[in-house]
Amino acid sequence: MISPSQAPPVLSTERMRVLVVGATGQTGKEVVQQALKDGHTVTAVVRSPEKVTETHDNLKVVKGDVFDEASLTPVMAEQDAVVSCLGFPRNPQPVTGYTESMSAIVEAMRKTNISRLVTMTAWYTDTSSAANSGFLVNWCLIPFLRPILTNMRQMEQYLETKCQDINYTVVRPPGLKNAPQSGKEMSVSEGFLVETNSAFNTTSRSDVASFMLSCLRSNIYDRKMLAITTTPKKE
């Protein structure tokens, strides 16, 4: 496991042009707000622009279809990076939204010469990684989430095997909660979970958004897939 002290160093304070998909989701909203606060220019691609309540001189809201390469390509022009916080429900099954949307996003990136991508999945995308996580995780959580986790893993494998030209970072958080940024350090593991004392870890969406944006300012996690969770704040 990568220790908290090895969290991505800020190598650049350059302001970027960031395209955010999934910007109306709870984590996506955090990404948009924090990116604007950091001085980046943000283009939010959403299905329903009226759902975006954030207003800012550096925010552009565009209606688009994340499953349609032709819809995404025009808005990717002159962007520096793509951040995806897309999420899809477990029903109807099978879940295919993660792979279908990523295929469209990657093809649009290729057509506009964008290579940097940060996207989010979850712990346990390889469900066998939960083997030692206890009864409730193995017999309750994993069966319930299996359709989502399976498609998330398929999306990860697509990036690994079909996207050598894409500089991706896949961020795998545990359960998400709504809370302000904690100021805690992030534990990071190049695996499907972070080994902790509890299988039911939670991390705030604001902390996840902060970590995702930090990956844009560093090359330490280029082409990596990372399980993360916040660690107790040192006294």
Q: What is the pLDDT of residue 40?
A: 97
Sign of dihedral through CA atoms 100, 106, 111, 112?
positive
Q: What is the pLDDT of residue 234?
A: 52
In sequence order, the β-bridge partners of residue 190 are: none
How many Cβ atoms are within 10 Å of 220's Cβ, its own excluded?
16
Q: What is the pLDDT of residue 18?
A: 98
User: 79-124 pLDDT, tens per residue?
Assistant: 999 999 999 999 989 999 999 999 999 999 999 999 999 999 999 9
Cβ distance 65 to 72 under 8 Å? yes
Average pLDDT, the chain: 92
Sign of dihedral through CA atoms 26, 28, 31, 32?
negative
What is the spatial distance between Cα 220 and Cα 216, in angstroms, rounded to a whole number? 10
Query: Token pair for residue 34?
Result: 């924090």
User: 182-203 pLDDT, tens per residue?
Assistant: 999 999 999 999 988 665 789 9
User: 18-76 pLDDT, tens per residue?
Assistant: 999 999 999 999 999 999 999 999 999 999 999 999 999 999 999 999 999 999 999 99
Q: What is the pLDDT of residue 116?
A: 98
> What are the residues whose beta carbons fall under 8 Å from the beta carbon of 125, sequence distance 6 or more?
149, 152, 153, 156, 172, 192
